[in-house]
Amino acid sequence: MNPAAVIFDLDGVLLDSEPRWNEAKEALVRETGGSWRDDAPRVMMGMSSLEWSRYLHDELGVPMEPDAISRDVVRRMRDGYRRELPLLPGAREAVESVRKRWPLGLASSSNREIIDLVLELSGFGAAFRVAISSEEVARGKPAPDVYLETASRLGVDPTGCVAIEDSSNGMRSAAAAGMTLIAVPNPHYPPSEDALALAAATVEVVGHVTPGVVESLPEPRPVGARVGG
């Protein structure tokens, strides 16, 4: 396959950040007298900041307005990233090798402020032609909105794009946008089998995403292939 563009997710694909997001949210819930639930991390995966801040308010009982909730969690994340950016092994190599062949986009559920900070701290700013936050579209993942908007800003047909995702909702989002999917299953929150079945290929770590792997993706998209053991 020779795609028009390759679009990466951020959290769980390039950054080992899902546990940090959940630690920040849980800390806020407990500090403000709310009720944290064990299933909250899975429920919130893929939600935009507008969605998860409402969830913390409405469902977990945080006695703050949603915009204040979002600002508090972002502050905690920002401070943590400035101390240490949790880039996943192979993330830099994957981005640098793939960008030499195709335009790159970033389609993330993170807040815009966090995306911009990560691009600055990682030095990836020049690598990604377009970076879109789910807070900038109508619906978060699993809706396709953030992927469709990223393709639109890149000026390409979404069905000609390859998406790299780690979570069930992210995989469903990319597939709903009509993109060919490479799955990098999140070890902290493993995706469901039905979500994995949407992928044209599965790799164990993002460092296995190379131009050769992208070129080897078949068209039309089958399911369940595994590469890069």
Active-site amino acid positions = 9, 11
DSSP 190: P
Residue tagged 């978060």 (tokens): 140
User: In 3D, which of 105, 109, 103 has the Cα closest to residue 170?
Assistant: 109
- Cβ-Cβ contacts under 8 Å for 110 (sequence gap 6 or more): 10, 11, 49, 118, 133, 134
- Cβ-Cβ contacts under 8 Å for 36 (sequence gap 6 or more): 26, 29, 30, 60
Residue tagged 């400035």 (tokens): 82
Asked if residue 97 lies in contact with residue 8, where contact means CB atoms within 8 angstroms, the answer is no
Strand partners, 163: 7, 181
40: three-class secondary structure by DSSP: helix
* C-alpha–C-alpha distance, residues 152 and 157, integer Å: 7
Query: Over the range 195-217, which residues count as b (16 or more CB within 10 Å of their CB) and which as e?
Result: bbebbbbbbebbbbbbeebbeeb
Please report the beta strands in 66-114, taking only residues with DSSP state E, as ranges in sequence order: 104-108
